[in-house]
Amino acid sequence: MTQSLNNPENIQVDWGTFQKGKVTILVHWNVTTSQDEEGNPVYNYDEVRMSWVLPEPFESREAIQTYFDSNYNQGENILNWAKAVKVVI
């Protein structure tokens, strides 16, 4: 599990890797909250880094983020792809 002081988005796009319709994304799930010694919230979650080929050209970063938000656990179901990547056989 990953820990962070920041509440993770379901899918975080690594814009620095965006090239020719392909981008690296961080997919997060199983988010729980605990507290550190000082009472600050700490977020614990599963995380997978994946390369993703976009299905079509998009006009803006906002449109790309909307695509990922809409397909997190429905449509393309990116969440299931991420969980499959994390499975160790």
Give the pLDDT of residue 87. Answer: 72
Q: Where are the domains of the chain?
A: 2-86
Average pLDDT of 7-21? 95
The b-or-e profile of 39-76 (16+ CB within 10 A means b, else e) is eeeebebebbeeebeeeeeeeeeeebbebbeebbeeee
Q: Has residue 15 got a pLDDT over 70? A: yes
Q: List, for residues 33-84, the tens digit of each pLDDT value.
A: 999 999 999 999 999 999 999 999 999 999 999 999 999 999 999 999 999 9
